[in-house]
Structure formats: C-alpha cells, structure tokens
Structure 1
Amino acid sequence: MSNGRKYTSDVATDFHVVFLPLPSPSHMIPLVDVARLFSARGVRSTIVTSHHSLSLLQNHINFDLARGYPISVHIVNIPPGKGMAYLSSLQKPIEQVVRNLDPNCIFSDMFFTWTVDLAEELKIPRLLFYPNCLFSHSVLYSLKQHYCSTIVKSKHESFVVPDLPDKITMKKSRVPDWVKLNTVLGDYFETVLQSGKRSFGLVYNTCYEIEPAYVDHMKKSVKGTKIWHIGPLFEYFNNKNYDDCMSNKHESLTWLDNQKPKSVIYVCFGSLTTFQEAQITEIALALDECDQPFVWVIRRKEDNQEGINNGLPQGFEERIRKTNKGLIIRDWAPQVEILQHAAIGGFLTHCGWGSVLEAVVAGVPLVTWPLTADHFEIEKLVELLEIGVKVGAEVYNMSFDITSPIIEKRTIVDAIVKLQDGSIIGENMRQNLKVLSNKVKQSVQEGGSSFNNLTGLIEDIKAFEFSQNN
C-alpha cells in the first residue's frame, strides 16, 4: 500500500473530512463533487482512491486547486477489479490510509459498509452517501420489508408496492434480486442498510423539489437516522467558468452546433452497460428509420477495444457519417453539456439517476429503458413526474451485461416519435420539465433547499466534533 502522489493546495483548515468514493463513475463523480463543495465551504477535504480511478477525477482536482480550495487526493495502489472480491480488497489499504490521515469525519460510499466500524474505532462521525434518489430508496426499502415470493404467482402480474405516498405498481420480473432475503446480494444490501442505521446520517444526490413526498416518507421510515438531500451536485458547478479549465471543445458539441433546435435524440445507457449484438442492431435500425438525427454513445466491449461493429449493421456508421444523420461516440462523452445543448430534443436512457437528474435540469424529455440496479424504480418516478415515455423493458438484469429479451426496432421507433418536436405528448413533457427544471436549479442557489441542507450537514458534523471535544 502506498499513498503515492498527493495533490493539494496551500490552504488548510482545522476540520478535515475524508471522502471514500466507489471507483465507478456513477458513484465516484457525485461524491467527488461533494468533496469539492465541502472544500469551497472551507472544509479540508481529502479523497482516497485508486490510481486507476484518478483519471476520472483529474479535471475536477486541477480546477479546484486553481481556485485555491483545500482539496487533496491520496492514491492507494490497488489494481482495477470488479465485484465483491474487489470491494473487499480495498478495505485494509484504505483503512490504513484513513487512520494515518486522522480525519474528523468519514464520508463513505454506500458500498463501503466497513467504514462504519472504522468510524466507531476512530470515534468520528461516518456519513453514508447514496448517489441516487429517495423515491427509488423508498420503493426498494418497502419491497425489502414486505417482499414475498408468493405475493403474485406470475412474474408479469402487477402488484402495488405497500406503504408509499403514491400507488406504485411493480412486476416480479422488474424486482431486483437483492430485495429478496436469503440471497448473497440480499444479505449484502441488508448490511448496507444496517450500516446506514449506525451512521451519523445518510446523504442523497437529490433535491426536495423533485420528490417532496418521498423525502418526507423516508425521514419518517428511517427513524433515528438523519437524512440530507444536497443535489443535484453537478448543478452547483454550472456556469462557473469550468469550461476554461477543460480541453478543446468535444466533437459532439461541434456537431450539435450544426443541428436544428430540439431535433437530436441523445442515446446513452451509462458507462458500464453492454448489450447483446442483436440489441445493438435493433437500436441502430430504429435510429436509422427515425426522422431525427442522433448522438449515440456505445460502450466498447472489453474483448473488442476497437469497438468495430459490435452489432452495427454493415456500412451503418459510414452511411450516417456521410449523410450527417448521426454521430457515434465510443469514448467519454460530456453528457451534461450535450443534454444542455439547444439541439437536443430527447434522451434515450437506462434511467441511471445521474442521467435522469441531468435531463431534468436540461429540460429534456426521456425515453426510458431500465436495465438493472435501481433503474426500474427510477422509471416509475419519471412516469409519476410525467417527463418521459417507456420503451417497454420488463425484465431486470442481474448485471450490466444485458441479457433480457430484445426490444425490437418498431417499439423503439414508436417511443422516440412521441418525443418529436410538435407532438402533444412531447410538448406536455417539455412543459412539465420547464417548471421542474427551474425549481431544481433554484434548489442549489443560496437559500434553496439543497443549498440549505448542505449548510446544515456541514454544521451538524462540526457540532458533533465540538461536542465530543468539550
């Protein structure tokens, strides 16, 4: 184990918080944004991560150092990996780094359940970070409390999720395995929930304005544990001259500059998802048939790093390039900037919470295609808010390697057409999003609900430290 390189500024404060992000983009980036916000509020912030994950953080770190904020990174030399074994391999080296740093508080990703024991050993508060919303947590919490394999006989029969503010229906085929007892994942997520109960509090990347009933519901359900909603985290950094510290303009943004307003469909299923080649083919055929141009982010398969075809029809990429019908991206894409571009008219998404939040802020209606994790629950929130249409996915996948039944071209086309500029459904969703987007943006402004929650969170952990020392 090695601390490796250390990035820091000359500014130092007495109160020190260590941030422990999971090395996965959807978990790491928002927790690093929390560290940046703490740093901007005068809290000495240290991020502990692996060397492999540093590239995801580098632009954030350099930008904040340029602004003089006291943020630093300690690198733990652990090879990249996956799954439960990898999470276990991180424990001992990270624990030792944290002990050496002697912080006043540990701010931990939800999956590092062992950090609650470390915090108790060091007699400091531990905050558990959920990078998702309280709606999905409410649904899954209820399912875990009440789920029974005999609640319905058929996988495709709907049932009402108990004890929620709204009537939310689910199907067994959409229920994650981990909500069931007596499974490996079920036992692990029970450990996550129990570690939350022993924590100083739970922090969510959401805001009250999106899901007020579910913020209130979870605060009542999880008794004895404080909850803070401080998102959307990326929105705190909008319009802060951030682009000045970035590299040259991404090709996708240049391409979008030449498209008509609200004409382009953005297609992205997250940084981890891999589809069967047959499904890639159906998506390609659907995008080809639609009148709308598109930007499509296709993740490279590990066994095909060049990303050649992977199910794309013969000559597809050359044809769309020649006709300027679409753009395919196989590397990192600046999703926030893409969604906020005037040319974007819709977003075909897997319903990852970060993606949905970014679309809400940008005012972009959604075509929802849930796959795994909490995607199916988030799709229900999109439906409740009336800001998207469903493509019709009905089967939960056990991993990000998607094996659920193929969604055919016609179904995809029908969903995208509903978002076209001028359609009644599309215009109603845009109007709903306009109102919601304004509320969400205001939540991170001074005096807004998330801004005030962030202030209260920092004050509460400092007050705990003061009480322990007096």
Structure 2
Amino acid sequence: MEMAAAAAGGLEVVVFPWLAFGHMIPFLELSKRLAARGHAVAFVSTPRNLARLPAVPAHLSARLRFVPLQLPAVEGLPEDAESTADVPPGKVELLKKAMDGLADPLASFLAAGRRPDWIVVDFCHHWVPAIADQHKVPCAALLIFHAACIAFIGPRWANDAYPRTKPEDFTVPPKWMPFPSTTVLLHHEARQMLADNFGDNASGRSDTDRLWDVLERCRLTIHRSCRELEEPRIFTLISDLLRKPAVAAGILLPRATDDNRHQILTWLDDQPPKSVIYVALGSEAPLTLESIHELALGLELAGVGFFWALRKPAGTTNFNNEQELLPAGFEERTRARGLVCTGWVPQVKALAHGATAAFLTHSGWGSTIESFAVGLPLVMLPFLTDTPMIARAMAERGIGVQVARDENDGSFDRDGIAAAVRRLMVEDEGKVLATNAMKLKELVVDEVRQEQYIQELEEHLRRYKDV
C-alpha cells in the first residue's frame, strides 16, 4: 500500500468487485475518485480482467494500483474465463464458485502488507468479512444497483419476519416499506427472481444469501446512486433496515476518454441529428434466436434509424456473424437506415453522439445511468433481477416507455417493439419524454454535486473505520 498516503492522513483502501465489467468499472471509478483525494487504493481482481480495464491515469498511478489474484480452475468453467463476459449465463454460477476460491490468495495479500483501513466488497463476497475480521479490517459494501431495489430485497431479518415464498408476494411492496412504491415485480418477473436470486445454484450459495451475509457483516453500505434518482426516503429506509449507514456515492460515471475513434461513430456522423435509436441489451440478457428475430423485425416495422450493438446469446457460438443471427434479408431491407454490430461498441460515446435520439435498453442500472448523463429517453426491455423494477421507476419518472410483454411468460413480439420505438421516435409523447430526460440530466450531471457525494462518503469512511 502507499505509505505516503497514510503519512499524509490519507486512507488505505482495498476494493474487490465481482467479476463482471458492469461491476468492475464503477468500482474502478470509485477507486479513481478516492485516489484523486489523496487516498491509497489497491484494486483487486484477476490478471485477465485487470489487463482489460482502462489504464490508471498517470496522475493517479502513485496512489492506485492493480493487484492480481489468480482465479482457480473449476470443473465446467471454460479455460481462461475470468469474467461474466467470458461465459454464457448458465456458467456464471461456476464463476462465483471459482471466485470463492480466492479466499486464501486474498488472505495472503492482506497478511503480506500494511493493514488497510477498509476493504470495499461486492454483493457476492460473503467470505471476505471473516478474513477481514482476522486482519482487523472493516468492510464496506459497494452496491451498484438501484438503491430502491436493495430496499425491496430487504435484509434477512425482515424477510424472516415477513416471509415471501410465492411469486405473488413480490408483486406488491414489502411490508417493511412504509411508503407507496413502484418497486414491485410482475408475476413472471417474480418467478424469475425467486429462481435466479433466492434459489440454489451451482456455486453452492444463492445470490440473496451471499448479499445478506455481506450486509450483516459490513460496517456501512455504499450505493452507486444519488438522492436525485431515488424515492425521497430510500436511503433513510435502507439505513434503518440494515441498522448501519447507507451512503450515496453518486453515479460514478467514468469521465470521457480520447480513445481511437470507433467505426460506429463515423457511421453516426452521417446520420441526421436526433434520428437514430441506439439498441443494446447488455451482456447477460437471456436472449434466444427467436427473441433476437422479433427485436429485429420490430425495428424494421418501426421504420426509424437504428444502431444495434448485438451480443451473441448463449448457445449460438456456431454463428459466425450477424447475418446468421438475424432474420433472412433483414440487413438488406434496413441498410439505408440501420446498422448492426456484433463487436465491442463505445456505448457512452454512441449515446452521447448528436445523431442518437433514444436508447433501447435492458434497463441495467449502469446503462440507465449512462443514459442520464446525456439526457436520452428510454425504450425499456428488462429481463433479470432488478431491471424490471428500474424500468418501472423510469417509466414513472416520465423518461421512458416499456415494451409490452406477455404477463404470463414475459415474452415480447415485433409489434410491441415497433409500438414502443415509435412512441419515442415518432409520436408527440416522445418529445415530452425527451424533455423530461434532459431535465433529469441537469440534476444528475453536475460535477460539483457528484463530488459532494464522494466527500460525504470520505467522511463516513474516516468516521466509521475505528468504530
């Protein structure tokens, strides 16, 4: 760790995110912001993940360093798989099992150096607090989800007091929420959450059990959010439920970089202003070939300009390019107004481009935050865990519309896609939603306001490290 930081009164912090880039990037942004304030930060992950992260800015390199821990092999996990980007959704639980094998390497790292002031962990690191206790280091949990969703899941004691065992129990606000809330699930979404988050999995421990263990053993919780984006009393409620401080850290949006210009930006340069909807459903949406076809045909029916960052779904490794994933003739019929790309896309820059008018998204919190930063209205097609609740909250705020879904199984079709896209891109309603999105941008993208959140977090880290 950085001895100079301690000598100057700075904190020494170890951060350890879950092995998904949607988690690593905000953890890295928090690390940078702490380092910029004079604190020493050790960012822990696996070698391949660290090699794929953005380089640490030169002016922070003395206080922010990467610490590689070798991920152990697990039967069934593909070789060299070190993040969720390397595995299909069905193998993610094996990745958690492999991550659990980092307990001894982490303990060795802590034993070899100066004792840090904090370890900042993710939702799934249920085994870290015990190691931290052995080294007399307090833990904080950085939760990158919409804070209202954390309140909806609730702590273990609240779930014990008010058990929720059936999907119907998740279609209404939990009994521990003392105010009206849109943070609820539809029946098919609740079934999915029960299976994915509360059910057993190949790692040997459910996601919710992991989260509860972390929440019970950490000294405070840090939330990638801000008061402007949440229900007014949500952070007070979370503090009361968890019986410890719940601290907003702001949106932790990475600052723009001057990377090499991607071909998609050149394509967008040739489109009229505010004429294109950007389509991206993240890396973990459980898309099938049938749902990809319905989405494609819906974009075709909508008749508007689009750029689609298409990820290959699990089980389609035999497809070599987008032509084999898309309906026959789709690209030829839409070439004059649309483009599909199956490679990496600089999403933040694509969203910020002047030709982009709206964002068709899976409503992951990271992607939603990126849309706030540029003031784009949303077409929302959520799939997993917290995304349906985020989509409902954003619709309630008047900055987006949801694609119509079958209430029994959650399926969607081309007509639902086309109708939602046209509401935003063609109809008058879209102008209202775009205005609301720009107003939200003015609230959220205020560097002075965001830096104040980091300062408040810093104050909490100082105050609670020796409690």
* TM-score, length of structure 1 as denominator length: 0.83
Gaps of 5+ in 1: 1-7, 397-403
- Root-mean-square deviation (CA, aligned residues, Å) is 2.9
1:76 to 59, 69, 75: 69
Is the partner of 1:170 in helix, strand or coil? Answer: coil
Q: Is the 8 A contact 1:256 1:341 kept in 2?
A: yes
Return closer, same or farther for 1:95/1:373 CA change in 2, 3 Å cut-off.
farther
Q: Is the 8 A contact 1:17 1:46 kept in 2?
A: yes
The offset of 1:194, in angstroms, is: 3.4
Q: Is the 8 A contact 1:419 1:426 kept in 2?
A: yes
How far does the alpha carbon of each residue in 1:8-57 deviate from its partner, in whole angstroms, 9 at most, with x for none?
9x994123211111110111111111111111111111111112212431
**Letter of the aligned partner of 1:462 in structure 2?**
R
Is the partner of 1:234 in helix, strand or coil? Answer: coil
Q: Is the 8 A contact 1:297 1:329 kept in 2?
A: yes
Query: What does residue range 68-467 of structure 1 map to in structure 2 within 5 Å?
Result: 68-78=61-71, 79-80=80-81, 82-83=92-93, 84-101=96-113, 102-141=115-154, 144=159, 146-149=162-165, 152=168, 159=172, 161-162=174-175, 163-168=177-182, 169-175=184-190, 176-177=193-194, 183=200, 187-234=206-253, 237-238=255-256, 242-243=257-258, 246=259, 248-301=260-313, 303-304=317-318, 306-321=320-335, 323=336, 325-393=337-405, 406-421=411-426, 423-442=427-446, 445-446=447-448, 448=449, 450-465=450-465, 467=466
Percent of aligned pairs with the same amino acid: 24
Name the CA distance, whole Å, in 2 between partners of 1:293 and 1:181: 40
**Letter of the aligned partner of 1:170 in structure 2?**
L
Q: Is the 8 A contact 1:204 1:231 kept in 2?
A: yes
Aligned length: 432
Return closer, same or farther for 1:251/1:12 CA change in 2, 3 Å cut-off.
farther
Name the CA distance, whole Å, in 1 between partners of 2:51 and 2:178: 41
Name the CA distance, whole Å, in 2 between partners of 1:177 and 1:223: 22
Is the partner of 1:129 in helix, strand or coil? Answer: strand
**Letter of the aligned partner of 1:408 in structure 2?**
D
Q: Is the 8 A contact 2:287 2:313 kept in 1?
A: no
Name the CA distance, whole Å, in 2 between partners of 1:394 and 1:131: 29
The offset of 1:217, in angstroms, is: 4.4
Name the CA distance, whole Å, in 2 between partners of 1:71 and 1:160: 41
Name the CA distance, whole Å, in 2 between partners of 1:216 and 1:89: 33
Return closer, same or farther for 1:21/1:85 CA change in 2, 3 Å cut-off.
same
Is the partner of 2:154 in helix, strand or coil? Answer: helix
The offset of 1:67, in angstroms, is: 5.3
Return closer, same or farther for 1:456/1:75 CA change in 2, 3 Å cut-off.
same
The offset of 1:97, in angstroms, is: 2.1
The offset of 1:266, in angstroms, is: 0.8
The offset of 1:438, in angstroms, is: 0.5
Name the CA distance, whole Å, in 1 between partners of 2:135 and 2:68: 21
Name the CA distance, whole Å, in 2 between partners of 1:319 and 1:464: 60
Q: Is the 8 A contact 1:135 1:214 kept in 2?
A: no
Query: 2:74 maps to which residue?
Result: none
* TM-score, length of structure 2 as denominator length: 0.84
**Letter of the aligned partner of 2:312 in structure 1?**
R
**Letter of the aligned partner of 1:304 in structure 2?**
N
Q: Which moved more, 1:135-144 or 1:204-213?
A: 135-144
Return closer, same or farther for 1:330/1:344 CA change in 2, 3 Å cut-off.
same
Confirm whether residue 13 of structure 1 aligns to residue 5 of structure 2. Answer: yes
